[in-house]
A and B are shown apart, each in its own frame.
Chain A
């Protein structure tokens, strides 16, 4: 079995199964948590609580104006990095092909040059985020292995993807295998660390907004 065949075959299958099992493990754990019983009467009807949840998903992605000067760097870099990842994943031709294989859905792709540019910007944003984490006194104290491992497992697919697009330091097959393996490492770690926010972030914000609306607080 070649290196590429291993990456595209058994490794992909194992990584997928671990990721699925892990995500459902985490979801079950969160959903079955004991919750405090709300004894106070709800101050908003159910529908308004739902819209409050939906609204919070949007409002919490943009910092309030008075916080902006303090969080501008971190939030901007985060936005750039996440948008870059979105463009790479959903507009790169090979990635659309993978998603098409899984879902049967397909859509037009962007030229390779645009994807490479998005990758380069994302790469730079990730480096800047790491530097900030290492140099910011509070952020450094708050960081643990999970933060650095999660950063590394996002950084590696971007790096191998850029190398693959250039096809310079090794053959296409080797670089493709390394790229796929780096994505598989990310898939395996995703449910067990902070990367799980991919599945939980919007649900968490929505739930918080729903509860705020119930209490009559601003969402």
Chain B
């Protein structure tokens, strides 16, 4: 039996992992995906019967931070996922040294899994000037995306750049960067935003897809509802201080030392949907707010253009003193003109009229 034809259950059994191990893993994943506990045995059975899922991963206009964080994580071990549950048939950064051979592998994988592979994208898609600002092997990202999306069963937009355009899309967006869903329509797309995204979220989506053959429930921005259904603020351990009106005024004041809410220091937790506060980072060590810095809202669209990271959500972009002065001058002139016009219509004060 070739490895690709082998089921996951058989493969795990061959490696000494019994059904109990798979069931434990399924329990963790159903919990992570906010599924009923009763689905854990179903997930375990489905995983045991599943064959390795072909994944083709294309990197576009990005910094490789998404891939770095996913590979370095210990999330229900992404490396185990890559090598055991999925077949990562193509990933440019990991296969860079293979050169042209990697491109051949890509063609073969697409042909062998037509209509069945998952297309994972990290990085935004530059559209300006024909997409010349990001090329792979001389081909623009947009043409590759359009070609390989056709045969994909679903598309995973990994990271805020792939989901919404991210930092490359920030004003003035010199490359005309957009997210995957701005280019592709008619295909199931799941956005896993974050800069970088939480590794467990990708694991959860992949396991759900392998187990049930479809994408998990998504919100209106095509994000997995289980992970993006609530805000950082809702799950934040500093939330009680927000309700009590106890705010740190600077990063080194007594309030900050007491762990008070970082709202006044610009925390974007109230408007940011992500699972950082519950899943945390680095083996569940902490997340940015726990480390003393406000959330910067990196998993939200256009997060780079939402004002300063250290400007409170309560504030806004002011009209500016110069514009305020012009408005005051216009108002004064208009009011004076109206008053003088009214005076000119009457030579005597109103009180003296008969």
Using CB atoms and an 8 Å cutoff, list the residues of chain A in contact with chain B. 1-2, 4-5, 7-9, 12-13, 16-18, 20-29, 31-37, 93-95, 97-98, 101-102, 109-115, 167, 171-173, 176, 180
Kindly report which residue of chain B lies nearest to residue A14, judged by CB atoms: B319
Excluding A33-B343, A101-B315, 10 further A-B contacts by CB distance (< 8 Å) are A4-B271, A5-B306, A29-B336, A29-B338, A93-B314, A95-B314, A97-B312, A113-B243, A114-B245, A167-B270
Q: Per-residue 0/1 for B331-354: is the Cβ within 8 Å of any A Cβ (1 yes, 0 no)?
A: 111111011101100100111100
Minimum CB distance partner of B334 in chain A: A25
Q: Which of B231, B349, B352 contacts A172 (CB 8 A)?
A: B231
Q: Is the CB of B335 within 8 A of A28?
A: yes
Q: In the complex the two chains form, is A24's CB within 8 Å of B332's CB?
A: yes
Known A8-B316, A97-B314, A112-B245: A20·B339 in contact at CB below 8 Å:
no
Determine which of A102, A114, A171 lies in contact with B231 in the assembled complex, contact meaning CB atoms within 8 Å.
A171
B316-337 contacts to A, CB under 8 A, are 316-319, 323-324, 327-336
Q: Is the CB of B302 within 8 A of A21?
A: no
Cβ–Cβ contact B302 & A5, under 8 A? yes
Question: Contacts of B319 on A, CB cut-off 8 Å?
Answer: 12-13, 16-17, 20
Contact call B323/A13, Cβ cutoff below 8 A: yes
Main secondary structure of the interface of B (DSSP, over half): helix
Residue of A7, A16, A25, A98 near B324 (CB, 8 A) is A16
Question: What are the 4 tightest A-B residue pairs by CB atom distance, in nearest-first order?
Answer: A28-B335, A24-B331, A94-B314, A32-B339
Instruction: Chain A residues near B90: list those with CB within 8 A.
Output: none
Instruction: List residues of chain A with CB within 8 A of the CB of B281.
Output: none
Closest residue of chain B to A180 (Cβ to Cβ) is: B316
Query: In the bound complex, how far is the Cα of B319 from the Cα of A52, in angstroms?
Result: 39
Instruction: Fill in one digit per residue for B224-238: 1 if any A CB lies within 8 Å of its CB, else 0.
Output: 000000010110000
How long is the Cα–Cα vector from A85 to B307 in the complex, in angstroms? 28
Which listed residue (A33, A111, A115) contacts B339, Cβ 8 A?
Answer: A33
Given contacts A21-B328, A26-B335, A172-B233, contact A34 B315 (CB under 8 A): no
- Shortest CB-to-CB span from A172 to chain B, Å, is 4
The CA of A93 and the CA of B241, in the complex, are separated in Å by: 12
CA distance A111 to B273 in the complex (A): 25
Given contacts A32-B336, A32-B343, A34-B343, contact A8 B301 (CB under 8 A): no
Report chain A residues within 8 Å CB of B273. Answer: 171
Interface: B242 (CB within 8 A): yes
Given that A12-B317, A34-B346 are known contacts, is A2 also in contact with B332, CB under 8 Å in the complex?
Answer: no
B318 and A102 contacting across the interface, CB-CB below 8 Å: yes
Complex A-B: 5 CB contacts under 8 Å: A5-B306, A12-B319, A16-B318, A24-B331, A114-B245
In the bound complex, residues from chain B placing their C-beta under 8 Å from that of A94 are 263, 312-314
The smallest beta-carbon distance between A80 and chain B, in angstroms, is: 22
Q: Chain A nearest CB: distance from B76 CB in Å?
A: 29
Cross-chain contact A25 with B338 (CB below 8 angstroms): yes
A2 and B335 form a contact (CB under 8 A): no
| B245–A176 touching, CB < 8 Å | no
Residues of B within 8 A of A24 (CB): 327-332, 335
CA gap between A36 and B353 in the complex, in Å: 11
Complex contact A20–B270 (CB within 8 A): no
CB contact between B245 and one of A21, A26, A111 (< 8 Å): that residue: A111
Are A29 and B323 closer than 8 Å at their CB atoms? no
Q: Known interface pairs A28-B339, A98-B315. Does A8 touch B328 (Cβ–Cβ under 8 Å)?
A: no
Cα A29 to Cα B312 with chains together (Å): 38
Docked-complex contact B335 and A8, CB < 8 angstroms: no
Min Cβ gap A112→B in Å is: 5
